[in-house]
Structure 1
Amino acid sequence: MIDSLLLEFMIIGTLGIASQWMAWRFRLPAIVVMSIVGLLAGPVFGLFNPEEDFGDLFKPIISLAVAVILFEGSLNLDFKEVKGLGRPVFRIVTFGAFISWILGALAAHYVAGLSWAVAFVIGGLFIVTGPTVILPLLRQAKLKPRPAKILKWEGIIVDPIGALLAVFAFEIIVFIQGTDVNPSSLLMFFLASIFAVILGIACGKGVGWMFETGYVPEFLKSPVVFTVVIACFTIADEITHETGLLSVTAMGMTLANMHISSIADMRHFKENISLLLISTIFVMLTASLTQETLLEIFNFRTIAFVLLMLFIVRPLSIFTSTWGTDLSKSEKLLVGWIAPRGIVALTVASYFSSVLLDAGFEDASILISITFALVFTTVVAHGFTIGWLSKKLGLSVEGPPGVLISGGSAFSTGLAKTLEELKVPVLISDSSWERLSSARSRGVKSYHGEILSEQTEYYLDMTPYEYLIAATELDSYNALVCTTFVPEFGRNNSFQLSLSNREGDNLEDLVHTIGGRILFEEGASFEELNTMVENGYVFRKTNITEQYTYQKYLANIDDAALLLFIKKPTGKIDFFSHDIEPKAETGDVVVSLTPPSKEFERIQEKLEEHRHEKNKKQEQDKE
């Protein structure tokens, strides 16, 4: 066991982030890796037990972390996004949640052997999915926008509803038992829930108003939001347990739909905080489990209950609630299967386990075991199958990683056409219809609109694209586009053209702090590249083989040619840039912008070879 709390906290954070990196590196579900790491550190090897070591601080830390995570997720719930999906989403989070609650309670009673009281509490609890598990899976699976939005909205909205249902079930149980309560306790519960929603909306409106009127300086905006979220959660939760989750969800949705630019700017900061909290909290929760809890998971009743929840309760609730909507059968199958449980289920289960035991329900002792069994089984099963199933159902974006080009021009069109010929998804975006004329004439996919507009995310599906190239004539605009989309594409995959070096423009220092990586060699600016295309330069594709190695290719290439990128057999694209010069290997395709003289020589060589073969054949025929 580790004696120092500071050292333990450092190890937990390191394990969480290391799990996230390992999941990214080997394309594994992050929640699965974090769960396994936590189990190994806690009950398996006994390095530490956070719940025992942190004592009374453990539950408040978990609760506040869940509040921040849920708030960050609700910041993405813009009502414009759900346009056209309102009916299915509403049905799933209301009628579907109710069916899931009832069926889950029946399964808990008849299959898991729990009393009716505990069964109805756990049935309400198990309708939750939540952003802690859904959002990482959606990023991994690359689902099409429609099913992805349904799963995201359900996960974030149902999280507080599930916690409230568990509280409501418990209040009903206590009322029926008649232990020191009166009917007013139920009324107080409903009033507390309504107060939590009003408090969340008020906090959201208040923060939004202060930001819009300039009452909060830019450097204090993130700390102010963070503090208000904690205050909003704490006030509501102190009045009635678990209503704090409802309050922060209402606050996040209010801010999301006010469309304040400051909130959009800090959203990425919130995402980073949320990722850190998810990584830390999941390791803490799994490391706090005991060996007895893990052994209880392998009980026959527990296994049967989990299988019933996966294969009967969830699909039945989704198919029933979405009956008569415009969801396709494939979408219903996917949504009916994907329902991983996460942090909220574990934290609320641990709370109700102690509360129900104190109330005299001895069977509540296995509540944590059943909850963890469902959590771990669902994150493993859904984490490893969401990609495969979405492809089988035609609901994922397949194919190699694509390229999004901002800025229409002769060079952009030529580059896009070359990528298309290599079977790479590509799209040119520009706000000018005229600048897109060359793309339209050559049949290149294009989007007419301002890429920096918030409307773009509703009309343009960016899921197929992993690389961004800002290729307009304005260096400052290119830098702005790259800076805006760095959180989506990553700095390594965000590129802009070389600076134009016009008189009066001094952006050389600026580009090191903002913007994307500089493409190609120095001097390959917008003007230079388009001049080359207009002067007859051609996009040349060269296959690297064992006979024609990359070294031979470099030795033969024209000195005036410009190396653009290397396409790997896996579909990955390595662009040549100022700071990195990739090396091609056997099987790769190297694309360059070659002067017409060199291309003319190649054509002449081919014609000469063709004549030589023809003459040789004629001579053989004469003989």
Structure 2
Amino acid sequence: MLIIFLGILSQWIAWRLQLPAIVLMSIAGLLAGPLLNIIHPAESFGEMFNPIISLAVAIILFEGSLNLDFKEIKGFNKPVWRIVTVGAFIAWIAGSLAAHYMAGLSWAVAFVIGGLFIVTGPTVILPMLRQSKLASRPAAILKWEGIIVDPFGALLALFAFQFVLFAKGDETAAAFGLFFLASLFAILLGIVAGRAMGWLFEKGMVPEYLKSPMVFAVVLLTFTLSDIVMHETGLLAVTAMGMAMANMHISSINDMRHFKENISVLLISSIFVMLTASIPLDILIGIFNWRIIVFVLAMLFIVRPLSIWMSTIGTDMTVQEKILVGWIAPRGIVALTVSGYFASTLLDAGFQDAELLTALTFALVLATVVAHGFTIGWLGRKLGLASSAEPGIIIVGASKFATLLAKTLLDLNKNVLIIDSAWGRLQEARLTGIPVHAGEILSEHTEYEVDLMPYETMVVATETDAYNSLVVSNFVPELGRGNLYQTALQVGDPTVFHSSLSGRNLFGDEWNILELDKKLGEGYSFRKTPLTDQFTYDDFKRNGAAGTIPLFVKRTLGRIDFFTSDQGVEPKNGDIIVSFSPPAYQQGRLQEKIDTNRLKALPQSKE
């Protein structure tokens, strides 16, 4: 209970304070485990400890690979494949040299652990990308590298171990053949499992309520069968399975992806707390060994940048992208779990210096998680590879009212984007200088053509109620229902659509987009009213013309709060109220100015 609670609590605190979640989870585990001695997961779970972590890693890795659609890297697949092949090989050699000369490990142990340390992995890189809001291209490069290299790092360490045993005479050449055959079997098993599941789904042979549970079960089965054939090949199998399903473009893939994402958040939170809480205190103290510190620094500032810069020679990666990708390489759960396996295996094989592996791995994991977690967003913004602006607003539908709403937000220095499927309807917005995208918001191509990462609020304002609700339902997992708004329903009875299918009603239940456009035709206009000590919100309500529709409030810190039917907004002094005012108000204001100017023109009486 405490493991799950601490993991999710860390995620929530990280979200509230905009801090790297991985860092807080690690701190929570260390406090509850070796420092305060409250929990001992390795002892509590006993023989189930390693299987639980292995199966959890398999699910996390599958969920990550389910996002590896080749369309995502169309146009920059060359640097991705260079990094996961040439870059991984350079990182292995350079990391092994650092482990030997700086950490003092024997050549055999150094080459085993050097292969393992090429991993970054979705357990750490995906939470970082979620918070950092990097541009789509560097984010995709880091994501693909982390997911693909994760199983290959474990296999590379296994290959190095097989070679070490062969060099000692403890293994025959046939073992190498078995290694490659087992790896090939894992890839084929994963592809067959993924294609088979996709075929069953496309043919309608699995009901909707069983799709996610069935995938969940098949992932565990695929991982276990492959791992029985040869240890550490299960990760390769589930990665191949996820990629096979991702590139089949199954219609229900998004539902499964959301389910797996929710499971992954829970597992990542729990597993990180379990692992850090199980670190013995002597190993925690041992990471301050000067050799370990020098090794970690070399991995951060020499090995990683060297592997990225050398492997991307001749690609179209910019200098800024090379700097960012060359710095970000956090290690996570796979490195911790697999290093524990090889530490015991190498010790059994007679390599006594392998007892240093756990402390070495934990030092690298902790250092990279902290260093990269706190700097990825800052460095991305400094290099122009992340959104430096505050979160923006997407408006779906390019009606006259929606266009004027976007223009008003733009005038208030807000980041706005209008999306509409018809190019012609966007003409007025384009002429006004509003950023636009002509395309279907529900199309999978949109996420490749438009970077939606900088936007966390969506206003859906088309003329079709059912379509508005469909868009809202589609984006609930990404944005949350609290950040999804739609104009009021045009049907007479608002209960026709259940609240779970709709966004928050903008401006009140009676103001649908047709009525708002009609008001524009009657002469309504947008009005900005700053609130001060002399003119408060009560004055605004008291002096406003009849028929005025409050739209939203811009807070002093820049946040936009829309007026909705389900929640009142309390503007304060210093805020700006934007309202939709009738022509009577404008005429009244004009008359006030005329009267004022007339009074000024009258001769002043003399005392």
Same-fold call, TM cutoff 0.5: yes
* 2:384 match: secondary structure: coil
Asked whether the equivalents of residues 499 and 508 of structure 1 are also in contact (C-alpha less than 8 Å), the reply is no
TM-fit CA distance, 1:444: 2.0
Q: What is the match of residue 488 of structure 1?
A: 478
Query: What residue in structure 1 maps to residue 517 of structure 2?
Result: 530
Which residue is equivalent to 1:83? 74
Aligned to 1:44: 35
Q: Which residue of 1 aligns with 2:291?
A: 301
CA distance in structure 2 between the aligned counterparts of 1:115 and 1:562, rounded to whole angstroms: 75
| Cα displacement (A) at 1:499 | 1.0
Alignment of 1:28-43 (within 5 A): 28-43=19-34
- Per mean C-alpha deviation after superposition, the further-off stretch among 338-347 and 441-450 is 441-450
Q: 1:414 maps to which residue?
A: 404
Say yes or no: does 1:369 pair with 2:359. Answer: yes
In structure 2, C-alpha distance between the alignment counterparts of 1:308 and 1:96, rounded to whole Å: 16
| Amino acid paired to 1:56 | E
Contact 1:143-1:397 within 8 A present in 2 as well: yes
Match of 1:123? Answer: 114
**Aligned partner letter, 2:566:** D
Instruction: Give the C-alpha shift of residue 546 in structure 1.
Output: 3.0
Match of 1:403 in 2: 393
Structure-1 separation of matches of 2:554 and 2:124: 33
The separation in 1 between residues aligned to 2:129 and 2:511, in whole angstroms, is 37
Q: Which amino acid aligns with 1:84?
A: G
- C-alpha displacement of 1:519: 1.3
Matched AA of 1:547: Q
**1:325-340, aligned counterparts within 5 Å?**
325-340=315-330
Deviates more, 1:376-385 or 1:437-446: 437-446
The aligned counterpart of 1:351 is: 341
Q: Mind listing any 5+ residue stretches in structure 2 that lack a counterpart?
A: none
2:314 to 305, 324, 330: 324
- Amino acid in the other structure paired with 2:71: K
Where does 1:483-562 land on structure 2 (aligned, <5 Å)? 483-502=473-492, 508-562=495-549
2:554 match: 567
Give the Cα separation in 2 of the matches to 1:612 and 1:187: 100
For structure 1, the 5+ residue unaligned runs are 1-9
Tell me if the contact between 2:545 and 2:584 (Cα under 8 Å) persists in the aligned partners: no
Give the SS at the match of 2:145: helix
Which residue of structure 2 lines up, in the alignment, with residue 205 of structure 1?
195
- Specify the SS of the correspondent of 1:542: strand
User: 1:105-254 counterparts in 2 under 5 A?
Assistant: 105-179=96-170, 181-254=171-244
**Deviation string for 1:76-122 (max 9, x for gaps)?**
00000110111000110000000001110000010011111111111
Q: Deviations over 1:110-167 (max 9, x none)?
A: 0011111111111111111111111111111111111111111111111111111111
| Aligned equivalents of 2:13, 2:84: Cα separation in 1 | 33
Q: Determine which of 226, 244, 261 is the counterpart of 2:251.
A: 261
- The aligned residue for residue 3 of structure 1 is none
Cα distance in 2 for residues equivalent to 1:70 and 1:51: 22
For residues 336 and 609 of structure 1, do their structure 2 counterparts lie closer, same or farther at Cα, with a shift above 3 Å needed?
farther
Q: Post-superposition shift, 1:516?
A: 1.3
Distance verdict in 2 for CA 1:562–1:186, change over 3 Å: same
The alignment status of 1:280 with 2:267, answered yes or no, reads no
| 1:61 partner amino acid | I
Contact 1:517 1:578 in 2 (8 A): yes
Instruction: Give the match's secondary structure for 1:221.
Output: helix
Q: Is the 8 A contact 1:401 1:571 kept in 2?
A: no
The SS at the match of 2:424 is coil
Distance verdict in 2 for CA 1:215–1:602, change over 3 Å:
same
In 2, Cα distance between the equivalents of 1:177 and 1:568?
70
User: Would you say 1:27 and 2:18 are equivalent positions?
Assistant: yes
| Superposition deviation, residue 443 in structure 1 | 2.6
How far off is 1:583 after superposition?
A: 1.3
Give 1:238 shift.
Answer: 1.0
Q: Which of 524-533 and 191-200 deviates more? A: 524-533
Query: Which of 327-336 and 532-541 deviates more?
Result: 532-541
Give the number of aligned pairs. 607
- Per-residue deviation at 1:612? 4.5
- Name which of structure 1's ranges 545-554 and 348-357 shifts more when overlaid on structure 2: 545-554
Q: Provide the rounded CA distance (Å) in 2 between the counterparts of 1:610 and 1:57.
A: 85
Distance 1:224 1:282 in 2: 26
Separation in 2 of the partners of 1:291 and 1:510? 57
User: Could you tell me the percent identity over the aligned residues?
Assistant: 60
Q: Which deviates the most, 132-141 or 545-554?
A: 545-554
Q: CA offset at residue 316 of structure 1?
A: 0.8
RMSD (Å), alpha carbons: 1.6
Counterpart Cα distance in 2 of 1:13 and 1:484 = 28
Say yes or no: does 1:452 pair with 2:476: no
Distance 1:182 1:411, change over 3 A: same
Counterpart Cα distance in 1 of 2:266 and 2:179: 33
Tell me the SS of whatever aligns to 1:577.
coil
Residue in 2 that maps onto 1:103: 94
Instruction: Give 1:611 shift.
Output: 5.2
Letter of the structure 2 residue corresponding to residue 275 of structure 1: V
Q: Deviations for 1:14-55, whole angstroms, at most 9, x for unmatched residues?
A: 111100000000100000000000000000000111011100
- The alignment's TM-score, normalised by the length of structure 2, stands at 0.98
CA distance in 2, matches of 1:237, 1:542: 66
The alpha carbon displacement at 1:607 in A equals 4.4
Whole-angstrom distance in 1 between the partners of 2:13 and 2:304: 30
Q: Structure 1-normalised TM-score?
A: 0.95
**CA deviation digits over 1:342-369, x for unaligned, max 9?**
1111111111111111111111112111
Runs of 4+ residues over 4 Å off in structure 1: 610-613
- In 2, the alpha carbon distance for the partners of 1:113 and 1:571 equals 54
CA, structure 1 residues 539+124, in 2 after alignment: closer, same or farther (shift >3 Å)? same
The code of the aligned residue for 2:230 comes to T
Q: Helix, strand or coil for the counterpart of 2:343?
A: helix
Alpha-carbon distance, 1:553 to partner: 2.1
Cα drift, residue 509 of structure 1: 4.8
User: Secondary structure of the equivalent of 1:469?
Assistant: strand
Cα distance between partner residues in 1 of 2:131 and 2:329: 15
